[in-house]
């Protein structure tokens, strides 16, 4: 497990949101997805920094997508989770599930 | 890809600018562009709620993202893939600043009492200073409003020399001289103005308003244009008669004409003459000086009934203002004007020692040109500066206290590698932030205080002239920054050079304690000086007001009227008698008499001889004042007959002639007594007598027998030492005056009314106004109002010194309190040990209070010394009060000491509450 990159909680949320959006993930949609599904406010600055960080860790890739008139001719970055990213998510989930084991009695009160 | 709506180029440029801005913070251009694209996309959805709001939202979000990228936390993540970009120093700087600001805000929030004390203290100091500075700059440094190129404008004066070589300036000139100056090529324009009050309206509606008569070219010289309508044309204002027109002030137009443009073309009755309103002057316009003007009329139209007035060279009525000829130097202009003036004076027998002088219309700080008003304003500027010094030293003390409290934190920071420059910057950021807040609050204080200060200080300056101006703003900003630098740097200087090991100890070093105590002593000393000044002025004011004027000042009212020219002398006499009847029927009026002369009103003096007594019995050959009076005069005045009898109704024209003299007069003429029965020969015929007959004429004057001596009464000054008042009273019925030209007459000046205690003077005006249609205006003033202008210097000194003194006292109290409170919190351990070892709480309490008192006492001693040395400056401004009055000094010191004691009480009480066990355990 040690060789997997550790991802933080918000990073997981972002990665999961991208996976859920499929091939249609750019920043505006990612934010909306998190706000809708995770029911939390996301500051744009934090989201961009996190996307950059995940990219730097090699968990994300992006390519320039179409620019629409709505974007004033500015390109959109369409994100895709890399294989490394998926592995990191799995590892995180496994870690959490291990830790959850046997605690149902305590937590489900 | 074509947009649905036509694009606004301005909004299209914005995204490019946004990309450039973001690129400074976001390392990769593609990322920056995509972020801008994202924001644009979301912004479009917000256009429904208004485009402006959507754009504001866009820029705000962009700013937030940029800040997030710029923050250190962002950079800690290490280099980004993609082309390397050097971190801009701007980024680092803004990052540090942000951090400093955040830290500063956090420390402020965590200590609201400290922050509040600093802001309030500075607000008071800065506010007082900015208000006073605004007033001084209004008086001395700025031109009156609505004047074009004020630097080209000059007042023209003529300086004369008398035979002893003393020079005196004449500020007013005849119209003919304006013509001479216009012919001189010195000026582009020359005009004259005469300020006075006029009666506006008629009947019960009539009121006196400030007005100005101006010559042709006046508004042209100043470069002023009308707000509504127009100003005078050349023909309306030029000799011989001008036109019956009037321009009103903006204030008058708004106040009395409802700001109605249709008022232009209607008539306004000014001094009984209907005039057509042709225009409204711009708001706040007061001409070439600052006195308020409600009504502008052409000088020519006011002079229309005086034939040839524009060639008269003796009627000096007009102050002259001129615009310099831009083609020549001011020196050359002066010489040309001088030549022009001399040319005009040729053949008038003037001695050639007169000189034309030009003075810029902005007075500046030229010592010789300061008016009494400006002097007072400068004095108060000085006093306000003292308050500011007190405020700054107080704030510095507060910062020092806090720096010591934060030693631990600062030590940790420096151990973690924060260098001195960085530390300095952080402390300065904090002090700048706080002092900035103080400065802003100070401006609010200034805006509020300036209104009050102007009402007291500048009653002669139009209220529309703004007082809080850029200069006052600059003064406020400068004082706030000064405070920030001093307050921010002082702790750094103390902390610098202290070894880190010592920084960790939470005790006070000798250095700060000394500095803080010196600051407190300084504050106390300055406060004492201000308090002492306030007491001196209050004592002066009380002594002035409680003087015995020799008559019943409090209950007396003087009324006088202005009759239309068409009312003849006989009619007037009759109207005055009817006036007495009307006044007597008002409830609350105890007595009403017509008066010809009155204290602080008109006076009269004629040559008088005393058979058997040397020619010049009074000081300096002065003539005694003659008062023609009605029989009930003394009673109405509340004067006391000291010897003999007063005047009676039976002392009529046919009865033996009698006189009553004042005590001073009796004492000067008949020091041994025996005034009663003496003879006065009063010259009532002023026609020239050939010298050969003069002695005979004097000897032939009939005797007026002195039948009584009345107490001395003040004539015209509230300073008794200004004159030796010698006066006598003759029954009006036994007096006819013939003037030098043979025309005589003695018309009453007005009415004197004595009110019952507690009665109001409200009905007097309307009762008199009802006498006649020909009575244009009635002026009713109590003696309190009449004396007010003379009381103003003391009232001003008393009120302003008191305000500033109390301000300083409050600040010094806060200073003592905060310093002691801090010292106690530092010494809780010591207090705890003392109490544990059995020291009575009373001892600890007394010890702390004694500390506060010691500081105040040292300050008092220093302040007393300063007052003693500076007393000479204040002496001439006081009334029968020594500037070295020991009693008052003691009172001031005891006020200061009491305040110090009060300020020490809470810290002292806290000290006694130190629970030994708790305190000792806590360390």
CA distances from B351 to B157, B315, B340, B348 (A): 17, 19, 16, 9
Q: Tell me which DSSP letter residue B825 carries.
A: H
> Which pairs count as long-range contacts for B502-508, CB under 8 Å and 24+ apart, including other chains?
B503/B407, B503/B408, B503/B410, B503/B411, B503/B414, B504/B407, B504/B408, B504/B411, B505/B407, B506/B407, B506/B408, B506/B826, B507/B826, B508/B404, B508/B823, B508/B826
Smallest Cβ distance to B65: which of A45, A64, A77?
A45
* pTM of the predicted protein model: 0.63
Contact B704, B680 (CB under 8 A): yes
Amino acid B896: pLDDT: 93
User: What six digits make up the tokens of B192?
Assistant: 């004259």
CB atoms within 10 A of CB B606: 15
Read off the pLDDT of each residue in B227-240 and give the average, rounded to a whole number: 91
User: Which pLDDT belongs to residue B74?
Assistant: 44
Q: Cβ(B478)–Cβ(B388) under 8 Å?
A: no
Q: Do A75 and B1 touch (CB under 8 A)?
A: no
- The C-alpha atoms of residue B310 and residue B449 are separated, in whole angstroms, by 47
Return the structure tokens found at A70.
């709505």
Q: Quick one: tokens of B135?
A: 């007033």
Which residue does chain B place closest to A50, by CA atoms? B74
Per-residue model confidence (pLDDT) at position B82: 36
Q: What does the alpha-carbon distance between residue B33 and residue B19 come to, in Å, rounded to a whole number?
A: 6
Mean pLDDT of B122-151: 83
Query: What chain B residue is nearest to A70 in terms of C-alpha separation?
Result: B41
Rounded Cα gap, residues A5 and A85, in angstroms: 9
Instruction: Decide if pLDDT at B458 tops 70.
Output: no
Quick: pLDDT tens for B167-223. Answer: 667 778 889 999 999 988 889 999 999 988 888 887 777 788 899 999 999 999 999
Q: B569 phi and psi, to 5 degrees? A: -60, -40
- Whether residue B557 contacts residue B782, with contact meaning beta carbons closer than 8 Å, is answered with yes
User: Closest partner residue to A56 among B38, B42, B77, by Cβ?
Assistant: B77
Q: Is there a contact between A28 and B68 if contact means CB atoms under 8 Å apart? A: no
pLDDT (tens digit, 9 = 90+) per residue, B430-444?
A: 888 888 888 888 888
Candidate from A55, A70, A74 with C-beta closest to B33: A74
SS3 call for A70:
helix
Most confident range, picked from B114-118, B242-246, B409-413, B522-526: B242-246
* B145 phi-psi bin (left φ>0, alpha ψ -120 to 50, beta other): beta
Query: Among B4, B37, B77, whose Cβ lies nearest the Cβ of A75?
Result: B37
User: Which of these, B523, B614, B596, lies nearest to B558 by C-alpha position?
Assistant: B596
* Cis ω for the linkage preceding B251 (within 30 of 0): no
Cβ neighbours of B84 (radius 10 Å) = 8
Residue in B closest to A46 by C-alpha: B68
Residues of B in contact with A43 (CB under 8 A): 64, 68
Quick one: B585 exposed, middle or buried, by C-beta within 10 A (0-12, 13-18, 19+)?
exposed
Residue in chain A closest to B33 (alpha carbons) equals A74
Q: Rounded to whole angstroms, what are the CA distances from A25 to A6, A62, B58, B104, B915? A: 23, 9, 21, 41, 65
The larger pLDDT score, comparing residue B180 to residue B473, is at B180
Q: Please report how the helices B510-545 and B886-912 are oriented relative to each other, as an axis angle in degrees rounded to 10.
A: 140
A13-26: string of b/e by CB count within 10 Å (b at 16+)? bbbbbbeebeeebb
Question: Does residue B472 register a pLDDT over 80?
Answer: no
Rg (CA), chain B: 38
pLDDT of residue B749: 87
Flag whether pLDDT at A54 surpasses 80. yes
* Pairwise CA distance, residues A12 & A16, whole Å: 6
pLDDT reported for residue B49: 75
Distances in whole angstroms, Cα of residue B189 to Cα of each of B148, B192, B326:
13, 10, 11
Distance from CA of B104 to the nearest CA of A (A): 24
Average pLDDT, integer, range B225-235: 91
Query: Which tens digits make up the pLDDT trace of B59-70?
Result: 888 888 887 787
Residue B34 to residue A46, Cβ atoms within 8 A = no
Residue B847, token pair as written in the block: 């010890």
Interface test with A, best of B38, B42, B78 (most A CBs within 10 A): B38
From B36's Cα to the closest Cα of chain A, the distance in A is: 7
Give the mean pLDDT of B870-895: 86
Nearest-CA neighbor of B286 among B389, B157, B142?
B142
Tell me the angle at which helices B51-70 and B89-110 cross, rounded to the nearest 10 degrees. 100
**Is the bond preceding B871 in cis, omega lying within 30 degrees of 0?**
no
B625-629/B727-731 β-pairing:
parallel
Q: What's the rounded Cα separation, in Å, for the pair B679 and B688?
A: 24
Read off the pLDDT of each residue in B459-474 and give the average, rounded to a whole number. Answer: 63
B61 CB neighbours in chain A (<8 A) are: 44
Q: Which chain B residues are within 8 Å of A52, Cβ to Cβ?
A: 31, 77, 80
Q: In this model, does residue B79 exceed pLDDT 60?
A: no
Residue B555 DSSP label? G
> Residue B504's pLDDT is what?
45
Give the whole-angstrom CA distance, residue B288 versus residue B357: 17
Distance CA B650, CA B51 (A): 94
Helix (H) or strand (E) holding A13: helix A9-21
User: Residue B781 in contact with residue B558, Cβ under 8 Å?
Assistant: yes
Residue to mutate among A58, A64, A66, A71, with most B CBs inside 10 A, is A71
Bridge partners (DSSP) listed for residue A60? A81
Among A101-105, B71-75, B214-218, B710-714, name the one with the lowest average pLDDT: B71-75
The whole-number average pLDDT for the span B354-358 is 85
H or E element: which one contains B609? Answer: strand B608-609
**What's the pLDDT score for residue B659?**
95
Helices vs. strands in chain A: H and E counts, helices first: 5, 2
The answer to whether B728 and B661 are in contact (CB under 8 A) is: yes
Q: Which pLDDT belongs to residue B619?
A: 60
Tell me the pairing of strands B172-173 and B608-609. unpaired
What are the residue ranges of helices labelled H in B326-469? 330-345, 372-405, 407-415, 420-457
Which member of B37, B77, B80 has the closest CB to residue A72? B37
Closest CA in chain B for residue A74: B37
Q: Which residue of B has its CA nearest to A52?
A: B80
Q: How far is A88 from chain B (nearest CA, A)?
A: 19
Q: Chain-wide mean pLDDT for chain B?
A: 81
| B621 band by pLDDT with thresholds 50, 70 and 90 | low
User: Higher-confidence residue: B465 or B35?
Assistant: B35
pLDDT score, position B355: 84
For residues B409, B414, B420, B421, the Cα torsion angle rounded to the nearest 10 degrees is: -80
How close A108 gets to chain B, by Cα (Å)?
Answer: 37
CB neighbours of B606 closer than 8 A, spacing ≥ 6?
Answer: B623, B626, B682, B683, B684, B686, B737
Cβ contacts of A50 on chain B, cutoff 8 Å: none
**pLDDT value at residue B383:** 82
- Residue A2: per-residue pLDDT: 46
Among the ranges B53-67, B101-115, B173-187, B795-809, which has the highest mean pLDDT value? Answer: B173-187
Dist. CA B446–CA B130, nearest whole Å: 6
Greatest mean pLDDT among A1-15, A57-71, B34-48, B585-599:
B585-599
Q: What are residue B902's phi and psi, to 5 degrees?
A: -60, -45
CA–CA distance, B105 with B111 (Å, rounded to integer): 10
**B423 to chain A nearest CA, in Å?**
29
Which residues are bridge partners to B185 per DSSP? none
Contacts of B699 by beta carbon, 8 Å cutoff, 6+ apart: none
Instruction: Report pLDDT digits (tens) over B86-98.
Output: 445 556 666 777 7
Taking contacts as CB-CB distances below 8 angstroms, the residues of chain A near B95 are none
CA distance B18 to chain A (A): 12
> What average pLDDT does this structure show over B291-313?
87
B chain contacts of residue A56, beta-carbon cutoff 8 Å: 77-78, 80-81
What average pLDDT score do residues B280-307 get? 89
Task: Identify residues of A whose CB sits under 8 angstroms from chain B CBs.
Answer: 26-28, 43-46, 48-49, 52-53, 55-56, 64, 67-77
Question: Is A64's CB within 8 Å of B36's CB?
Answer: no
> Which of A60, A72, A77, A78 is best to mutate for the B interface (most B CBs within 10 A)?
A72
Query: How many Å apart are CA B794 and CA B719, to the nearest integer?
Result: 12
Mean pLDDT is lowest, of B43-57, B404-418, B749-763, for B404-418
Rounded Cα gap, residues B865 and B859, in angstroms: 10
Instruction: Give percent of chain B above pLDDT 70.
Output: 85
Q: Which residue of B has its CA nearest to A51?
A: B31
Name every chain B residue with its beta carbon within 8 A of the beta carbon of A60. Answer: none
- The residue to which tokens 């004066």 are assigned: B157
Q: What percent of chain A has pLDDT over 90?
A: 36
Minimal Cβ distance to A69: which of B1, B19, B77: B1
All residues at 6 or more sequence positions from B417 whose CB lies less than 8 Å from its CB, including other chains: none
Q: Does B68 contact A49 at a Cβ distance shorter than 8 Å?
A: yes
Q: Whats the size of chain A, residue-wise?
A: 109
Please tell me what DSSP assigns to residue B554.
G
């Amino acid at each position: 497990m040690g060789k997997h990159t550790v991802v933080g909680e918000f990073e997981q949320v972002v990665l999961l949101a991208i996976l859920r959006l499929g091939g249609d993930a750019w920043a505006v949609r990612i934010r909306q997805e998190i706000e809708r599904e995770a029911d939390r406010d996301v500051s744009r600055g934090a989201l961009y920094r996190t996307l950059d960080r995940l990219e730097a860790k090699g968990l994300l890739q992006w390519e320039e997508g179409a620019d629409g008139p709505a974007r004033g001719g500015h390109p959109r970055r369409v994100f895709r989770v890399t294989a490394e990213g998926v592995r990191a998510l799995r590892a995180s989930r496994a870690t959490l599930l291990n830790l959850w084991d046997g605690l149902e009695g305590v937590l489900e009160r | 890809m074509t947009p649905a709506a036509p694009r606004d180029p301005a909004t299209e440029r914005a995204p490019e600018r946004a990309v450039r801005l973001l690129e400074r913070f976001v390392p990769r251009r593609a990322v920056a562009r995509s972020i801008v694209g994202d924001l644009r996309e979301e912004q479009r959805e917000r256009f429904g709620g208004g485009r402006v709001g959507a754009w504001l939202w866009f820029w705000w979000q962009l700013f937030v993202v940029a800040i997030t990228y710029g923050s250190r936390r962002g950079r800690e993540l290490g280099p980004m893939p993609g082309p390397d970009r050097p971190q801009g120093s701007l980024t680092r700087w803004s990052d540090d600043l942000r951090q400093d600001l955040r830290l500063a805000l956090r420390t402020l929030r965590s200590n609201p009492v400290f922050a509040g004390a600093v802001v309030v203290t500075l607000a008071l100091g800065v506010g007082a200073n900015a208000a006073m500075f605004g007033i001084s700059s209004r008086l001395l440094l700025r031109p009156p409003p609505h004047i074009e190129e004020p630097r080209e404008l000059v007042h023209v004066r003529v300086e004369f020399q008398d035979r002893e070589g003393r020079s005196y300036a004449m500020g007013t000139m005849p119209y003919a001289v304006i013509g001479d100056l216009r012919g001189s090529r010195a000026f582009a324009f020359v005009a004259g103005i005469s300020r006075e009050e006029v009666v506006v309206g008629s009947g019960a509606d009539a009121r006196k308003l400030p007005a100005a008569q101006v010559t042709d070219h006046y508004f042209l010289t100043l470069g002023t244009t009308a707000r509504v309508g127009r100003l005078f044309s050349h023909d309306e204002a030029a000799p011989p008669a001008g036109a019956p027109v009037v321009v009103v002030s903006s204030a008058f137009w708004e106040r009395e004409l409802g700001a109605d443009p249709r008022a232009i073309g209607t008539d306004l009755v000014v001094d009984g003459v209907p005039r057509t309103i042709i225009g409204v002057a711009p708001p706040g316009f007061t001409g070439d000086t600052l006195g308020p003007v409600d009504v502008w009329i052409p000088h020519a139209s006011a002079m229309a009934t005086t034939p040839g007035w524009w060639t008269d060279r003796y009627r000096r009525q007009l102050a002259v203002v001129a615009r310099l000829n831009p083609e020549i130097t001011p020196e050359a202009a002066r010489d040309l004007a001088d030549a022009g003036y001399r040319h005009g004076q040729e053949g008038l027998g003037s001695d050639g020692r007169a000189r034309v002088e030009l003075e810029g219309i902005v007075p500046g700080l030229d010592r010789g040109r300061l008016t009494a008003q400006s002097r007072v304003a400068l004095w108060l500027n000085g006093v306000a500066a003292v308050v500011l010094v007190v405020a700054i030293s107080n704030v510095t003390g507060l910062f020092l206290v806090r720096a010591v409290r934060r030693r631990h934190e600062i030590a940790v920071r420096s151990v973690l590698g924060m260098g001195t420059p960085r530390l300095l910057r952080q402390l300065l950021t904090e002090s700048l932030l706080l002092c900035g807040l103080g400065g802003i609050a100070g401006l609010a204080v200034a805006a509020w205080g300036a209104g009050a200060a102007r009402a007291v200080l500048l009653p002669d300056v139009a209220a529309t002239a703004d007082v809080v101006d850029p200069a006052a703003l600059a003064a406020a900003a400068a004082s706030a920054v000064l405070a920030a630098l001093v307050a921010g740097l002082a702790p750094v200087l103390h902390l610098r050079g202290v070894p880190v090991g010592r920084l960790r100890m939470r005790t006070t070093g000798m250095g700060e304690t000394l500095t803080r105590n010196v600051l407190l002593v300084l504050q106390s000393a300055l406060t004492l000086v201000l308090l002492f000044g306030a007491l001196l002025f209050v004592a002066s004011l009380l002594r002035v007001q409680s003087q015995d004027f020799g008559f019943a000042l409090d209950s007396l009212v003087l009324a006088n009227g202005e009759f239309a020219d068409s009312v003849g002398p006989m009619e007037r006499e009759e109207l005055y008698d009817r006036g007495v009847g009307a006044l007597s029927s008002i409830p609350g009026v105890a007595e009403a008499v017509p008066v010809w002369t009155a204290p602080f009103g008109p006076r009269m003096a004629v040559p008088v001889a005393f058979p058997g007594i040397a020619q010049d019995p009074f000081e300096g050959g002065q003539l005694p004042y003659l008062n023609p009076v009605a029989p009930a005069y003394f009673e109405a005045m509340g004067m006391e007959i000291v010897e003999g009898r007063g005047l009676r109704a039976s002392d009529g024209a046919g009865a033996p002639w009698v006189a009553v003299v004042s005590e001073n007069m009796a004492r000067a003429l008949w020091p041994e007594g025996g005034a009663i029965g003496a003879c006065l020969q009063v010259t009532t015929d002023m026609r020239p007598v050939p010298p050969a007959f003069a002695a005979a004429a004097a000897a032939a004057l009939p005797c007026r027998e002195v039948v009584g001596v009345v107490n001395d009464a003040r004539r015209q000054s509230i300073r008794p030492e200004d004159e030796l008042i010698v006066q006598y009273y003759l029954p009006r019925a036994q007096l006819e005056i013939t003037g030098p030209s043979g025309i005589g007459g003695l018309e009453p000046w007005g009415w004197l009314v004595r009110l019952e205690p507690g009665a109001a003077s409200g009905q007097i005006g309307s009762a008199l106004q009802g006498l006649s249609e020909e009575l244009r205006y009635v002026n009713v003033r109590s003696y309190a109002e009449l004396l007010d202008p003379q009381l103003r210097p003391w009232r001003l000194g008393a009120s302003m010194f008191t305000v500033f003194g109390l301000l300083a006292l409050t600040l010094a109290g806060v200073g003592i309190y905060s310093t002691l409170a801090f010292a106690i919190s530092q010494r809780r351990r010591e207090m705890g040990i003392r109490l544990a070892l059995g020291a009575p709480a009373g001892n600890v309490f007394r010890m702390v209070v004694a500390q506060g008192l010691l500081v105040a006492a040292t300050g008092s001693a220093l302040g007393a010394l300063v007052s003693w040395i500076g007393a000479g400056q204040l002496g001439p401004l006081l009334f029968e009060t020594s500037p070295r009055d020991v009693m008052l000094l003691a009172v001031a010191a005891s006020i200061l000491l009491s305040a110090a004691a009060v300020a020490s009480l809470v810290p002292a009480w806290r000290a006694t509450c130190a629970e030994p066990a708790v305190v000792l355990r806590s360390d």
